[in-house]
Amino acid sequence: GAGVSQSPRYKVAKRGQDVALRCDPISGHVSLFWYQQALGQGPEFLTYFQNEAQLDKSGLPSDRFFAERPEGSVSTLKIQRTQQEDSAVYLCASSSVMLDEGIYSNQPQHFGDGTRLSIL
């Protein structure tokens, strides 16, 4: 398809396990964002990539969270030693906008349908 694809759609893991969430952005999109959305809340920014460079990871809640985009296309968000508070929907968004350093006007963003992560 032509949209942002995320996999898996649902992930259930036991507390303490590691998980990996995948995002396939729209082909050619240079900018890629990860968001965390708790139930009943709006998305919260986690990290931003421009091509393969991770320019901002200030939203990652702890050092258990790690994101990469080694070839500037597919991105993986990894969560180590998962905890119950990690349960949320993780959204990925991509944009064709070439962002200069520090510019986050990021319009338009195209969102994937998210991965719903449940930690038991």
Residues engaged in binding another protein (CB under 8 A): 4, 40-45, 48, 56, 59, 91, 93, 102-109, 111-114, 116
Q: How far is it, in rounded angstroms, from Cα 41 to Cα 52? A: 29
| Distance of closest approach, residue 62 Cβ to another protein, in angstroms | 18
Residue 45 or 66: the one with the smaller Cβ distance to another protein is: 45
| Distance of closest approach, residue 107 Cβ to another protein, in angstroms | 7
| Distance of closest approach, residue 81 Cβ to another protein, in angstroms | 26
Q: How far is it, in rounded angstroms, from Cα 92 to Cα 14? A: 23
Q: How far is it, in rounded angstroms, from Cα 108 to Cα 120? A: 36
Name which of 120, 102, 111, 103 is nearest 23 in CA terms: 111
Residue 19 or 43: the one with the smaller Cβ distance to another protein is: 43
